[in-house]
């Protein structure tokens, strides 16, 4: 049993693709990150090559993966117990700003990395993955209507994307224009309009193994409290279902009770919790 690392996206996809597709709900972010790297190139998320790895059993089967797109934290799938301390050794020499792991594995990796790399660790976010059961439409939707974003909306969407990341304390995209243009091109940005003005947005990932993730649900502060966020989430969810998705998922920050309650009212149900830790000198 061992970790193998590469920076070659196609090699990783060919080796670990079946493992990722075997659990598309739990592997939602990993699948979409790898898909983006394949579609937009290895530097889609930053100026350095990605770090991609898989944990192999003695029989040669992939039983866990890791993906880092510098300067972002390394993200792990669910892992066999032995793979956690082994990952600390396999990643030695890599500059890791943090790690994103299932809640039951985070302590093992964080403590091992703290000792090995001589860094401090602290939790920056606890997240929950939700999967859609049956979509529940709000009884009284707000005024307005939804539409897909168009190329001329790119500047607005970029501004909202950056504001979203700033608000949750997450690193901004390296190239927001390219990220937005990519999503707009495949119909991955929904806007809610009221009075002829966009007032909220939601994004959707590309379909991967029958799964679509609703993400970046954002309403400017001055427009909040009117139901726009819930309305655009419903439309994005329905658009994902209409595209043929078997599973629609989304992630929330557990520190935000408003969004967690909203998504459950819309029919989303908890699947798993994850923890993001930051490493500092």
CATH number of the domain enclosing 216 = 3.40.630.30
Phi and psi dihedrals of 34, rounded to 5? -65, -40
Q: What is the pLDDT along the chain (281 residues), one digit of tens a residue?
A: 799 999 999 999 999 999 999 999 999 999 999 999 999 999 999 999 999 999 999 889 999 999 999 999 999 999 999 999 999 999 999 999 999 999 999 999 999 999 999 999 999 999 999 999 999 998 888 999 999 999 999 999 999 999 999 998 888 998 999 999 999 999 999 999 999 999 999 999 999 999 999 999 999 999 999 999 999 999 999 999 999 999 999 999 999 999 999 999 999 999 999 999 999 98
The model's pLDDT over 129-177, given as tens digits with 9 standing for 90+, comes to: 999 999 999 888 899 999 999 999 999 999 999 999 999 888 899 899 9
Query: How far separated are the first and last CA of the chain, in Å rounded?
Result: 31
Helix axis angle, 176-185 relative to 28-40, nearest 10°? 100
Whether 281 is in a domain gets the answer no
Domain ends where: 87, 118, 149?
A: 118
Q: 47: which 2 tokens? A: 């100026």
Return mean pLDDT, the chain.
96
Distance CA 90, CA 106 (A): 16
Quick one: pLDDT at residue 169? 86
Indicate whether 185 and 232 sit together in one domain.
yes
Indicate whether 55 and 174 sit together in one domain.
no
Q: 174: which 2 tokens? A: 């390296």
Q: What is the DSSP letter of 142?
A: P
Mind spelling out the 3-state secondary structure of 79-117?
A: CCCCHHHHHHHHCCCCCCCEEEEECCCHHHHHHHHHHHH
Question: pTM of this prediction?
Answer: 0.93
Whether 141 is in a domain gets the answer yes
Quick one: pLDDT at residue 171? 87
Quick one: pLDDT at residue 174? 87
Quick one: pLDDT at residue 187? 95
- Residue 117: partners with Cβ closer than 8 Å, 6 or more residues away: 92, 96, 279
Quick one: pLDDT at residue 93? 92
Indicate whether 141 and 255 sit together in one domain.
yes
User: Which neighbouring-strand residues pair with 4?
Assistant: 54
Distance CA 71, CA 171 (A): 9
Quick one: pLDDT at residue 106? 94
**Cβ proximity of 100 and 279 under 8 Å:** no
Nearest C-alpha neighbor of 236 from the set 183, 171, 195, 197: 183
Range of the domain at 230: 132-271
């Amino acid at each position: 049993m061992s970790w193998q690392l590469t920076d070659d996206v196609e090699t990783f996809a060919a080796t670990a693709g079946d493992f990722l597709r075997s659990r598309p709900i739990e592997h939602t972010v990993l699948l979409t990150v790898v898909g983006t790297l394949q579609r937009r190139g290895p530097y889609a998320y930053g100026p350095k090559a990605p770090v991609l790895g898989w944990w192999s059993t003695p029989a040669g089967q992939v039983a866990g993966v890791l993906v880092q797109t510098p300067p972002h934290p390394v993200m792990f799938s669910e892992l066999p117990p032995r793979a956690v301390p082994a990952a600390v050794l396999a990643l030695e020499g890599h500059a890791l700003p943090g790690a994103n792991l299932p809640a039951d594995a985070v302590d093992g990796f964080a403590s091992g990395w703290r000792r090995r790399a001589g860094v401090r660790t602290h939790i920056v976010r606890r997240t929950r993955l939700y999967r859609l059961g049956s979509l529940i439409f709000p009884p009284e939707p707000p005024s307005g209507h939804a539409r897909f974003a168009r190329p001329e909306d790119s500047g607005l969407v970029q501004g909202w994307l950056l504001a979203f990341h700033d608000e949750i304390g997450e690193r901004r995209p390296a190239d927001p224009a390219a990220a937005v243009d990519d999503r707009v091109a495949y119909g991955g940005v929904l806007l809610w309009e009221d009075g002829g003005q966009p007032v909220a947005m939601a994004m959707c990932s590309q379909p991967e193994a029958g799964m679509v993730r609703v993400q970046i649900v954002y309403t400017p502060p001055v427009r909040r409290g009117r139901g726009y966020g819930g309305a655009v989430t419903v439309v994005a969810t329905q658009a994902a279902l209409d595209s043929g998705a078997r599973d629609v998922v989304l992630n929330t920050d557990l520190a935000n009770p408003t969004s967690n309650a909203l998504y459950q009212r819309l029919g989303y149900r908890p699947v798993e919790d994850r923890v993001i830790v930051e490493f500092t000198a």
